[in-house]
Structure 1
C-alpha cells in the first residue's frame, strides 16, 4: 500500500497494514471519506436570500485625502478601502509642519489637485501648474513622520522635498508636506473615532470608514431642492448606486456586490467640506449643507452620535473582500 493510502487509513482508525481481505474495502472506505471532506471544503459558502436593490453606477478612489477623486471601472475591496493598481483610497495625506492633517476644510483648493499613476510613476497635477512626476516607490531613506488625523496619531512616509514644494507653491498659504501610508505601518482604529465601528475596522487617513455608499436617487432628490446643482464629488462617495429609491441606502444593512460583502455601520454626518465646489475649489459655507440641514437631521435619539450635522450617505465596513465593477448588481443580503 502507498503512503497516501496508509495515511488515509490511519486517519480513519484502521491499521496501516491491513490483512489482504480488508485492503479493497478499507481503501474504498478511505476514498469515500476523504472525498466527502474535500467536497465539504470545496463547496461554496451558503448564501442567504438575495434581493437586488440597485446597480453600481460609479466607483471612486481618492488617493490623497481631500484631493480630487479618480473614477475607475473596477476596484478591489480591501478591509481598508478601495484599491486600483498602486492607488489606494486615502493612503496619501497633506500635513502641515506640525504633522497635523490638512483637508479642504482648511485649504479648499486641495480638491483641484489630483494624483494618478502610470506604471511606476506617480503624477501630481493641477490646473495652470506643471505636473510633478514622483517614483511610486518612496526611498526608504525618506523620513517617517508622526501625523495626526482627527486626534489619532499615525505614521506616514515623507514623499520628499519636491512634492512638498509643489503643494506649497500651489496653495500659497504655508508650508506643507505629502506623506504616504505604507502596509507595515499601524492603521487607525475606526472604533476609536466612531463608536459603532467594530474594534477590527481600520483605516489609514480616511475620516473613519473604509467605504462611503451613496445613491443617485438621493443626490437627485437633493438637487431638486437646490438652485445650483451639486455633484456626487461634493460628497466624496466610494460607491454610487443607481436603480434604487430615494435614501434606500439608509436601510441597507448588508450588501453583496460580486463576491464582496459590506456591512452598514452608520450614516455619514456632513460638514463644511460639502460646500467646496469640486471644479473651482471655492467654499461657499452654505449650500448644499444648509438645505440638507432642513430635512436630513437625525432623530433626537441619535443626536449624541451625530450632533446637529445632517446625514447624507452611509458608512460601510468590509465583511468579505473581492472585486467590484461598474455595472455589477447590488444585492441586499437577507437574514
Structure 2
C-alpha cells in the first residue's frame, strides 16, 4: 500500500522546512509554500545554489506571523501586512515576476546575516506565473511546479549506493510516501490522495542544492555524483515527480492518507 509518510512546506524559498501533519492545498501549492523569496540588489532570486548557508535559516509559522531564525538571531514577519505597497520586478531564473518588498528592518536583518545586500519579497496577488509545460498550472516562487513528491524507497535505493547516507531534506519534497518499489513514482500519470486528484506534470531535474548538507550548510559532491551514474537522462539527473492539483473536495491531505494510482 502507498501512503503519505511526511508532508513539508517551505515558506521561504531555499530556507528551512516545516513538517506538517495535515496540509492545506491550493492552486499554487501548499498554503504559504514558497510564498517568500530572497533576492539580491538586482532582483535576482537567491537560493542555496549561491548561498549554501541558507540551509541554516529555520522557519516557523504562527497564526499571524512567520518567524525566521539564524543562529542566535531571529525576526518576525507578519503574514498579512497592508502597509507593504512597493511592487518590484524580480527574476525567478530568467522569468520576470511582480513581487512585494518586505519592510526595511526585515531586509536589513537578512543582509546582516548574509553579509551582503539582500531583500525578502513576498508573492504579489497580481503576479501570474505558470508551469511552462502546463499553462493552466499556476505557481508562486517554486522552481517548476505546485507540488513535489518523492518515495521513501527511492531514497533508500540511493542511500544503498552511498558511503554516507543522505536525508530526504536534500531533495526538498512536499509529499513523501512509503510503500512500493524504488522510483515507482516514475510510472505515475495521475494519483488520488484522500479527496484530491493530482496530475504528474514532469519529473524533477536535480541541481546542486541536493549537495548542500542541510545541517551544516556545507557543499559536497554527493548525492549528485552517484545519482548521475544511474538517474541521468537527456543530460539531466532525475529524482522525484512534479504534481499539479486537478480537483479537490476538501483541499486537505494528511499523513497516513492512502495514495491511489489512477
Q: Structures share a fold, TM > 0.5?
A: yes
Q: Secondary structure of 1:327's match? A: coil
Q: Kindly report which structure 2 residues correspond to 1:258-297, keeping only aligned pairs within 5 A, or say none.
A: 258-284=194-220, 286-297=221-232
Q: Secondary structure of 2:3's match? A: strand
Separation in 1 of the partners of 2:173 and 2:154? 12
Q: Kindly report which structure 2 residues correspond to 1:132-151, keeping only aligned pairs within 5 A, or say none.
A: 132-151=75-94
Q: Kindly report which structure 2 residues correspond to 1:245-260, keeping only aligned pairs within 5 A, or say none.
A: 245-260=181-196
Higher strand share: 2
1:111 equivalent in alignment to 2:55: yes
Offset from partner CA, 1:149-207 (integer Å, 9 cap, x none): 011111111111111111111112x200101113x22221111xxxxx22111111001
CA contact (8 A) 2:84 2:103 kept: no
Offset from partner CA, 1:77-122 (integer Å, 9 cap, x none): 2121012xxxx11010000111110010000111111232222222
Separation in 2 of the partners of 1:141 and 1:56? 37
Q: Kindly report which structure 2 residues correspond to 1:105-184, keeping only aligned pairs within 5 A, or say none.
A: 105-127=49-71, 129-172=72-115, 174-182=116-124, 184=125
Q: Mark the structure with the bigger radius of gyration.
A: 1
1:76 equivalent in alignment to 2:19: no
User: Unaligned stretches of 5+ in structure 2?
Assistant: none
Q: Secondary structure of 1:279's match? A: coil
Q: Secondary structure of 1:310's match? A: strand
Q: What is the aligned partner in structure 2 of residue 327 from structure 1?
A: 256
CA contact (8 A) 2:210 2:224 kept: yes
User: Structure 1 residue 139: deviation in Å?
Assistant: 3.6
Separation in 1 of the partners of 2:145 and 2:171? 14
Separation in 1 of the partners of 2:65 and 2:119? 19
Q: Kindly report which structure 2 residues correspond to 1:170-209, keeping only aligned pairs within 5 A, or say none.
A: 170-172=113-115, 174-182=116-124, 184-191=125-132, 197-209=133-145
1:309 equivalent in alignment to 2:217: no
Greater mean deviation of Cα atoms: 152-161 or 136-145: 136-145
Separation in 2 of the partners of 1:145 and 1:229? 42
CA contact (8 A) 1:142 1:160 kept: no
User: Structure 1 residue 141: deviation in Å?
Assistant: 4.2
Task: Identify which of structures 1 and 2 has the higher relative contact order when contacts are C-alpha pairs closer than 8 Å and 6+ apart.
Answer: 2
Higher helix share: 1
Separation in 2 of the partners of 1:187 and 1:91? 13
Q: Secondary structure of 2:180's match? A: coil
CA contact (8 A) 1:142 1:159 kept: no
Q: Aligned-pair RMSD on alpha carbons?
A: 1.2
